[in-house]
Structure formats: C-alpha cells, structure tokens
Structure 1
Amino acid sequence: MTIWVDADACPVPIREILYRAVKRTGMRLVLVANQPIPAPPLPSIEHMQVRSGYDEADNEIVRLIESGDLLITADIPLAAEAMEKGATALNPRGELYTRDSIRSRLNMRDFMDTMRASGIQSGGPPPLGQREKQAFGNQLDRWLQQQKT
C-alpha cells in the first residue's frame, strides 16, 4: 500500500501529519509535484518531480496509483479517477470521498466553473484550521488501522 500526495497543493501542516504517520508506521509515502517539496529524509518517503504543466502531477498519480492505495488531494477530478482505480481518496480537510460525495462534488465544481466563467467571483475555501487538521489526522489513522487488518 502507498499513500500518494498531490503535493503542489497540499498544505504544509497536512504534509507534517503525513510525515509523522509514515515515520511511525513505515508506510510508503510518495509526494508528486511540479517542484521540489521539502520532506524528512526517511526511506519510506519518496519525492517524484514531474514536468511543469497542467495536470502533469495528476496524470502521473493516476498512471501509478493502485487499488488499495490512499490519495491525498483536494482535486475532485483527480480523486474521482483514483477512486475508479480502487484507491481511497482523502481531502486535506479530512473529508473521505465516497462514490456519492464525489459525484455531488464534481457537479458542484462544474457549476462553480460555469459561474466563474460568467464573471461571478467566488472566494476560495477558508483557511485550514485546527478542526480540519484533526479531522484529517483521524481519517488517516482510520485508514492506517484498516491496513493492519
């Protein structure tokens, strides 16, 4: 099993939670990004730097992810593609995507894209708070526990 991280957009506090978890468990962690991402020098942590360009990191993750792996991403289409391959997808805010939630999130994303294209401005998500970090850590721990059984 591998934990894949869409690392370009992954908040630093979430990466730090992941680093502590893989240090404790020895689980393989792969950070995929268009740029170097600082990480502790642990044998279970790999950095995969891809070419700069639209969806380069996403495409590489989809190519390599396998059934049973975990993907950390806020990218809804990427999460959907990973789930189609049998992976589990977890948002950095602690939301574990399900088949139903991913469908509704894709619809909402498409709606918001349409709104932005018509000139309506929308704000981004609120800053990552302690509650979201805790929710992420809890979901990650649940997934790690399931891997032991």
Structure 2
Amino acid sequence: MSEEATPRIAIYVDADACPVKDEVYRVAGRYGLHVFVVSNSFLNLPREPWIERVVVGDKFDAADDWIAERASRGAIVITADVPLASRCVKAGAVALAPNGKAFTESSVGLALATRNLMQDLREAGAITGGPRPFSPKDRSAFLGALDRVVMRLKRDLKL
C-alpha cells in the first residue's frame, strides 16, 4: 500500500461543548496523533503543531458537516451529538461520547431513537431536566476508552 493510501489516525473533536478536550490532547500527544478541534467560534488551544483549530462559522450544523465530510476509516470523532456520531460511524470512523461510550453500528440506531423520543418529550413539557452532570468517573472512562480505541486502530491499520 502506498503512503497516500494508508489510513492515518486523526482525532476530530466536536469542540463547542466538549468537556474532554484536555484528555484528547493528552492521549493524542502520547501517540503522536493529529487533532482537529472544530468549533463555531474561536477557542483557545494549546500551541502544538499537531493540534489544529478549525472555525467553521455559525451556520447550523457547520461543525458537524465539516467533521462528517472527513470521517473515514482511521478517524476518531469525539462528540455527544448522536446524529453526527451516526454519520461518522456509517462512514467508517470510530465515534466516542465524552463519557467514553462508543457509538457503534448496532448502538447508534437506538441512540438516535432515544434522542428523538427525549426531544419530543421535552418539547411536550413531559420532561424538563437534561442529562446528568458530567462526572470525574465519566472523564476517567473516556480516557480509558480513547486509549483503547487508539491502540486498536494502530493494530488494525498496522501502524
């Protein structure tokens, strides 16, 4: 396989509300991976050559579209956005939620259905609360999950 045809591992962060950006930087730095931090507005980032800021503007779903267009085998997408995760998984990427849960082909359909049901219930006023607060346990689970995904991709892609 030529150098151009060999997939490389890259991490795409749906960054506007992502609580685990620092954890992504830590893991990516350890493995020498490129990170794309995609947002609708300017975010302060560490000054590292392997961390790239992508500001897409404020068009609805602009960050999601930018990430989904690049999601493919070898990509890791960090997002809590279930529709974006679904698009990325269908494109061959690995999608991880900030709590460390992986979106898979078998789980993303149920996650979309649950998301849509909860949205309908909130709009009808039946549910007024949101998700539980992000916890240190979630952060730890994310770190372990991201590390395992990187190791698996390195093995699968023979990097």
TM-score, normalised on structure 1? 0.93
Q: Secondary structure at the match of 1:70?
A: strand
Separation in 1, partners of 2:123, 2:130: 15
- Note if 1:136 corresponds to 2:142: yes
Q: Is residue 90–residue 105 contact of structure 2 (8 Å, CA) maintained in 1?
A: no
| Counterpart among 2, 5, 9 of residue 13 in structure 2 | 5
With 94-103 and 1-10 compared, the bigger mean Cα shift is at 94-103
Separation in 1, partners of 2:151, 2:120: 40
Q: Which amino acid aligns with 1:72?
A: I
Q: Matched residue pairs, number?
A: 147
Q: Which amino acid aligns with 1:62?
A: A
Tell me the equivalent position of 2:29: 23
Tell me the equivalent position of 2:6: none
Q: Secondary structure at the match of 2:138?
A: helix
Identity score, percent:
37
Q: Which amino acid aligns with 2:16?
A: D
TM-score, normalised on structure 2? 0.88
Tell me the equivalent position of 2:40: 34
Q: Is residue 39–residue 63 contact of structure 2 (8 Å, CA) maintained in 1?
A: yes
Tell me the equivalent position of 1:98: 104
Q: Which amino acid aligns with 2:46?
A: P
| Counterpart among 142, 148, 152 of residue 146 in structure 1 | 152
Tell me the equivalent position of 2:120: 114
Q: Which amino acid aligns with 1:43?
A: P
Q: Structure 2: any 5+ residue segments left out of the alignment?
A: 1-8
Q: Is residue 5–residue 32 contact of structure 1 (8 Å, CA) maintained in 2?
A: yes
Report the CA distance between 1:34 and its aligned residue. 0.5
Q: Is residue 23–residue 42 contact of structure 1 (8 Å, CA) maintained in 2?
A: no
* Large movers: runs of 4+ above 3 Å: none
Q: Is residue 4–residue 69 contact of structure 1 (8 Å, CA) maintained in 2?
A: yes
Report the CA distance between 1:119 and its aligned residue. 2.5
Q: Structure 1: any 5+ residue segments left out of the alignment?
A: none
Q: Secondary structure at the match of 1:121?
A: coil
Tell me the equivalent position of 2:53: 47
Tell me the equivalent position of 1:81: 87
